[in-house]
Amino acid sequence: MKRVALILFFLILIIMIYPSQSDAALRLFVGQDEVALKNSLVMINGNFMIPVSVFADYLGAEVKTTEQDIEMVFSDQTILMQLEDESAQVDGKPYKLEVAPQLIEGEIVVPVRFIANRLGLSLVFDQDIMGLRLEASKEKPLSESSFTSSLIRQPAVSKPEEPASDEPQPPEPIVIHHPEEEQDLKDIIFMGGPRSRVFLDLKSYTGYQTYLLTEPDRLVVDLYGVGGDALPTVEVSGHPVVSSIRSSRFDEQTMRIVCDLKGSTGYRVNPWPEGGLEIEFNFQLTTIELRASEDDLCLYFQASAAPVIEAVYLENPLRLVLDLQETTLMLSSFDKAVNQGRVERLRASQHTPAVTRVVLQVTEPVAPLPLEQLDEGEFILPLFLGTASEAHAYLARLQGHTEPELAEEPIIEGELSGLTVVVDPGHGGSDPGTIGHQGTFEKDINLAIGLYLGDLLRQAGAKVVYTRESDVYVSIFERPAIAAEAKADMFVSIHANSHIKRGTARGTETLYRAHDPASELLARAVQDELVQAITLVNRRTWGREDLAVFNQTKMPAIMVEVGFLDHPDEEILLLAPGFQRVAAQGIYNGIKRFYLEFKQ
């Protein structure tokens, strides 16, 4: 039964990834050499598994296997594994595996991502060859003849004497050794803009680590596997965040980049799909105050640019919480009484490294209206004296209509007839959401799965209302207002996940409005059916109290995090139209199960 289940699983996987070529098998390349596979590749819990023989035949390892033990001896390290055991040893150091080695169709298969990481290699999906490619880098692909010289790691070297510094010492990196040191750091470019962007033009690298330091304020980026000389210092004048960007060779394996800052600030590092790294520093919030008159109430603030603002409504006491995304509070946190209009207290703090939180404690509801710019770096956020739904209706009247005109669609009789579902593809327009290793925007994945889901629901007789059907920005206030206006029976938001430690987390989870039994039941049904459909790791369902789309909806409401876009393997899946359709089918199955059981 186990063998049959694995074969069926693989067939489903191929259909998901190649819906138009369901009879095509996924190919495997090491550099430019195609691996002669005896059996089709398998994915288990989101991990690609390849035969252990590949490392002997194509990568020069000495491989020994017994009934249970697997030993792979490379030129610089030895990896030990056991069948059905989710642990491994690398030169005696223990590691936890996400999936254990398996015996499938007479072949021992192991998780390729784990071994690739140990060897400093990359595993990428190449759409041109319709397969996976294991290689050193885009510029230096491996081949059978070049493997030995390309993969040998450099011997340990003593660190040069340096003046005492509080800058951290990087951990021993995984580095690819090249016979002749090359200039891998080609340029350092300060691109400026509201996010103070810096681009590191890299020919190749094997990894990086960042440190945000103070006294003086600076961001340190250690680039591993980068050969060549340091570049001249880039001086930045007249910019509020960055004053200079320096590079130096820390050791034979590491190039160090130091961005000298004018104040400690959050940041984000984005690997570019075509190579190189981009550093984006947070928006800078330097002034914030409440301004009130007889008829108007607004927040005035000065910032380097206008950030995305998300609102959350809390009760007991009544509060409007405004989260300014990718924003650093450059002044001290405060909590003070203001007693202006409906606002009793105003406080601001750095809620997370990426979020500045502003809280208005109010006596009656207030809701934010669209942000307005007064002058360069000066903004006001008008506050509507009423609820979010009343603010939405007010904006609709200003635009000359009271409700959206929806095209009439033919009514289909089916088992979901009478059900109205709001399908909410997260993010959109100027808000890309999470960005994957290959540069994939979350907003595009969410929209594709959302449209597939809507089609399935319509075919079953349900009425579907989308918060967006194209690449447009819809605020988090409009989304629940659309659901209320449609008198929807349930609200289903589609997202792809990310983790603060990029590439470390994986799997599927479903969020729901906390303390709402109906929302929790819907979340559990969708989570069960979705995990069964796409076979990723079943992480959890969990209630949230801090999401505006939950707090402003009354019907059962969930947010489905299909997979982790910042994990390389799951990004490959999320990009595949076939996988998107299967994910939509799983969500649909959960909605149907909940609806039919709830009706009884």
Q: How far is CA 137 from the centre of its chain?
A: 23
Supply the mean pLDDT for the chain: 81
Looking at domain 185-281, which of 2.60.40.3500, 3.40.50.2300, 3.90.1150.10, 3.40.50.150 is its CATH number? 2.60.40.3500
Q: Inform me whether the pLDDT recorded for 544 exceeds 70.
A: yes
Is residue 389 pLDDT above 60, yes or no?
Answer: yes
The pLDDT, as a whole number, for residue 138 is 40
Name, of 91-105, 368-382, 572-586, the range with top average pLDDT.
572-586
What integer pLDDT is reported at residue 525 of this predicted model?
95
Residue 9: which pLDDT band, with cuts at 50, 70 and 90?
very low
pLDDT of 596 above 60: yes
To the question of pTM greater than 0.85 for the whole model, the response is no
Beta pairing, strands 218-224 & 319-325 = unpaired
Which of the pair, 228 or 275, is modelled with greater confidence?
Answer: 228
The pLDDT assigned to 125 comes to 63
Residue with the larger pLDDT of the pair 129 and 533 = 533
pLDDT (mean) for 190-196: 79
Residue 456, token pair as written in the block: 């399935």
Fold category of 420-599 in CATH? Aminopeptidase (3.40.630)
Does residue 583 or residue 476 have the better pLDDT?
583
- Beta-carbon contacts of 139 under 8 Å, excluding residues fewer than 6 positions away, are 203, 204, 275
What pLDDT is stored for residue 244 in this prediction? 95
Q: Residue 169 has what pLDDT?
A: 52
Mean pLDDT for 495-508 is 85
DSSP letter for each residue of 451-481 = HHHHHHHHHTT-EEEES-SSS----TTHHHH
Q: Which burial class, exposed, middle or buried, applies to 447 when counting CB atoms under 10 A from its CB (0-12, 13-18, 19+)?
A: buried
pLDDT at position 295, please? Answer: 72
Which residues does residue 245 pair with via DSSP β-bridges, in sequence order? 234, 259
Q: Name the residue ranges covered by the structural domains of the chain.
A: 26-150, 185-281, 291-398, 420-599
CA pseudo-torsion sign 331, 333, 339, 342: positive
Q: State pLDDT tens for residues 416-449.
A: 988 999 999 998 876 788 888 888 889 999 999 9
Instruction: Report the C-alpha gap between 11 and 550 in whole angstroms.
Output: 38
Do 185-281 and 291-398 fold alike per CATH? yes
Which has the higher per-residue pLDDT, 238 or 575?
575
Mean pLDDT, residues 519-532 taken together: 94
Percentage with pLDDT > 70 across the chain: 83
Segment 506-516, tens digit of pLDDT: 899 999 999 99
For residue range 33-48, what is the model confidence (pLDDT) as tens digits?
888 888 877 777 667 7
Residue 268: which pLDDT band, with cuts at 50, 70 and 90?
confident
Q: What string of DSSP letters covers 323-382?
A: EEETEEE-S--EEEEEEETTEEEEEEEEEETTEEEEEEEESS--EE---EEEETTEEEEE
Of the listed ranges 42-56, 122-136, 210-224, the least confidently predicted one is 122-136
pLDDT band at 415 (very low <50, low <70, confident <90, very high): confident
Categorize the per-residue pLDDT at 346 as very low, low, confident or very high, splitting at 50, 70 and 90: very high
Q: Using pLDDT thresholds of 50, 70 and 90, give the confidence band for residue 100.
A: confident
Spatial contact of 190 and 198, defined as CB atoms under 8 Å apart: yes
Sheet with 463-466, strands from edge to edge, namely 463-466, 420-425, 490-497, 557-564, 508-513, 538-544
For residues 121 and 110, what is the distance between their CA atoms, to the nearest angstrom?
Answer: 16
Does pLDDT of 471 surpass 90? no
Burial class of residue 259 (count of CB atoms within 10 Å of its CB; 0-12, 13-18, 19+): buried
Q: How confident is the model at residue 168 (pLDDT cuts 50, 70, 90)?
A: low
User: Number of C-alpha atoms within 13 angstroms, CB side, residue 64?
Assistant: 6
DSSP state, residue 160 = P
Q: What tokens were used for 452?
A: 């597939």
Surface-to-core class of residue 247, CB atoms within 10 Å of its CB (0-12 exposed, 13-18 middle, 19+ buried): buried
Number of other residues whose CB lies within 10 A of the CB of residue 94: 9
What is the fold, at CATH topology level, of the domain defined by 26-150? Copper Amine Oxidase; Chain A, domain 1 (3.30.457)
On whether the CB atoms of residues 83 and 108 are closer than 8 A, the answer is yes
- 33, 143 Cβ separation under 8 angstroms: yes
pLDDT value for 199: 92
Instruction: Name the band, by pLDDT with cuts 50, 70 and 90, for residue 587.
Output: very high
43 Rama sector, left if φ>0, alpha if ψ -120 to 50, beta otherwise: beta
Above 90 in pLDDT, residue 582? yes
In the CATH scheme, what architecture does the domain 291-398 have? Answer: Sandwich (2.60)
Tell me the one-letter amino acid at 5.
Answer: A
Q: Calculate ∠ Cα 229-231-237, nearest 5°.
A: 165
Q: Is the pLDDT of residue 130 over 80?
A: no
With a pLDDT cut of 90, the percent of the chain lying above it is 34
Q: Is the pLDDT of residue 113 over 60?
A: yes
Q: How far apart are CA 430 and CA 420, in angstroms?
A: 28
**Cα distance between the two ends of the chain:** 35
Output the pLDDT for position 399.
Answer: 62
Predicted local distance difference test score (pLDDT) of residue 177: 38
Tell me, rounded to whole angstroms, the distance of Cα 288 from its chain centroid: 30
Q: Is 97 helix (H, G, I), strand (E, B) or coil?
A: coil
Residue 172 has what pLDDT?
41
Q: Which residues contact residue 261 at a Cβ distance below 8 angstroms, ignoring those fewer than 6 apart? A: 216, 217, 218, 219, 241, 242, 243, 281
Cβ–Cβ < 8 Å for 534, 508: yes
Phi, psi angles (nearest 5°) of residue 81? -140, 170
CA–CA gap between residue 481 and residue 269 (Å, rounded): 34
Q: Look at residue 242 and tell me whether its pLDDT is greater than 80.
A: yes
